[in-house]
Structure 1
Amino acid sequence: MGQMERRTINLEELRVNNTKQDSDEVRVIEGHAAVFDKWSEELGLLVPFKEKVLKGAFKESIEKDDIRALFNHDANFVLGRNKSGTLFLEEDEKGLKVRIIPPDTQWARDLLVSIERGDISQMSFGFTVLEDRWGYQDGIDVRELVKVKLFDVSPVTFPAYTETDVGVRTILDEYNRRKQTRIDEERMKNIKKLQLLKKKYELLGK
Structure 2
Amino acid sequence: MAEPFISGYALQWGQPATIAGLFVERFARGAFDKSLRDFPDVCALWSHDESRPLGRVGNGSLELRPDAVGLWYNLTPNPDSPNGQEALASVGREDVGQVSVGFWSEIEEWDDRQDMPQRLITQARLSEISLVLHGAYGDATSASLSRATTNAAAAVRRKAEAAHRLRGIR
Normalised TM-score (structure 1): 0.61
* Larger helix proportion of the pair: 1
Aligned to 2:37: 63
Within 5 Å, give how 1:11-30 maps onto structure 2: 25-30=2-7
Within 5 Å, give how 1:25-174 maps onto structure 2: 25-40=2-17, 42-45=18-21, 48-65=22-39, 66-104=41-79, 105-159=81-135
Q: What SS does the aligned partner of 1:78 have?
A: strand
Q: Is the 8 A contact 2:53 2:83 kept in 1?
A: no
Q: How many residues align?
A: 134
Q: What SS does the aligned partner of 2:3 have?
A: strand
| Alpha-carbon offset, residue 159 of structure 1 | 4.1
Q: What SS does the aligned partner of 1:60 have?
A: helix
In 2, Cα distance between equivalents of 1:129 and 1:107: 29
Normalised TM-score (structure 2): 0.73
Q: Is the 8 A contact 2:65 2:71 kept in 1?
A: yes
1:18-40 C-alpha deviation (Å, 9 max, x unpaired): xxxxxx72111101111101222
Q: Report which of the two structures shows the higher radius of gyration computed on alpha carbons.
A: 1
Aligned AA (1:27): P
The root-mean-square deviation of aligned C-alpha atoms, in Å, is 1.7
1:148-167 C-alpha deviation (Å, 9 max, x unpaired): 0000001013448xxxxxxx
Identity of aligned residues (%): 28
| Alpha-carbon offset, residue 92 of structure 1 | 1.1
- Which portions of structure 1, spanning 4 or more consecutive aligned residues, are displaced by more than 2 angstroms? 42-45, 136-140, 157-160
Q: Is the 8 A contact 2:25 2:118 kept in 1?
A: yes
In 1, Cα distance between equivalents of 2:24 and 2:33: 22
Question: Which one has more relative contact order, counting CA pairs under 8 Å at least 6 apart?
Answer: 2
